[in-house]
Structure formats: structure tokens, C-alpha cells
Amino acid sequence: MLKTIKVNLDEVESMLYFWQATSEKERVSEQYMADVAAMKGVSASYDEDFNAESVRKVLSAITNKELLSKKTKKEGRFWNYNMWVMEDLEYTLAMVQPVKQLNLDSLVEKLKDVDSKYEEVEVRFSPLSLEDYIIKDNSLIINFFKVKPSDFDDNTFIDGVEIKEYICEKLKEVISK
């Protein structure tokens, strides 16, 4: 039976530093980029077209103001997303704010009737390339770039669905036996 849903923002916090520093024309170390690439929420998306070297290469090109040559489709999308959030850091912070305030305790009650294989699950927000979300063991990893704050009220959406509703539906996939 599901008892706890934790929200993990490690990757978002790390990328906030990267985006801010890079937009202020500071250089971010290669080691920092390698550390980001090794994070659980980032590495879960790795395959033959996108891996730790892809992340390092893209972030290095961005921080060094270099062109990204010989890129895969996933590397290109990752580069585009990162450049997009750096263009308007105020909007990026508007994306981060509701995620930081996210309390998913009410979803435990909503999911009580689902026969769960986990007592605890984790919801991570991570900068991904093509994926909307990834399920890895007891973790739901959501592509941070898909978070959309409303222009009209305090609601936040992912793929046009209110964020808690979206997370609830995806958690059903995570916990179902």
C-alpha cells in the first residue's frame, strides 16, 4: 500500500544554478556538468542516442557560447530546451515556483485503492530531451521543460493537464502491480 510520495528537485536546483550562471556569462565547470549528467533524474533518460557525454557536450556548448555540431535529435532538443529557459529566466522561475511548492500528500489518499507494489514513490522533475516522463523503479521522472504555469491564475499544467492530476495518472503506472 502506498504511504508516501516524495518530491525531489535535485536536478532542477542544479540546473537553476547552471542557467543563472550561464546567462550572467559565468563559466560553469566541466565537473559540474559531469555531476549533473550523473544525476538519477538525468541519467534515467540515457540510451544509444543520448548519454552522459551528450549532456556534458550540450551544457558545455551552451556555457562556452559554442555551436553544437554533430548532434543527435535528442541532443538538439536538449540544447533547444536549455536555451529557451535561459532566454526568459523570469518565466523559468514561474515554472519552478509551483514545483517547489508541490505537496502531493493528497494523492496518497486518491491512490489508496490502487494495489501498489511500493510504499514510497518519488516524483522527480528533471530536464529531459524528448520524453514527457520516465518511470524507473519507484520513481516518476517528469520532464521539467513540460511544466507550464497558467497566464491567468495559479494553476500549473503538464501537457494541458493540471499538474497534480497529471502526476496522479502517471503514478498509477508507477505503483500498479
Of 48-52, 67-71, 120-124, 160-164, the range with the lowest mean pLDDT is 67-71
pLDDT of residue 103: 95
Q: Say yes or no to pLDDT of 35 above 70.
A: yes
Report which residue type is found at 165.
E
Tell me, what amino acid is at 117? K
Report residue 176: phi and psi, to 5°.
Answer: -60, 135
- Residue positions counted in the chain: 177
pLDDT digits (tens, 9 = 90+) for 83-130: 999 999 999 999 999 999 999 999 999 999 899 999 999 999 999 999
Report H helices in the chain: 10-23, 30-38, 40-43, 52-63, 73-87, 89-100, 105-110, 163-175
Model-level pTM? 0.95
pLDDT band of residue 69 (cuts 50, 70, 90) is confident
Closest Cα to residue 155, out of 65, 68, 95, 114? 95
Separation between Cα atoms, residue 75 and residue 129, nearest integer Å: 7
| C-alpha cell belonging to residue 29 | 565547470
Q: Tell me what the pLDDT averaged over the chain comes to.
A: 95
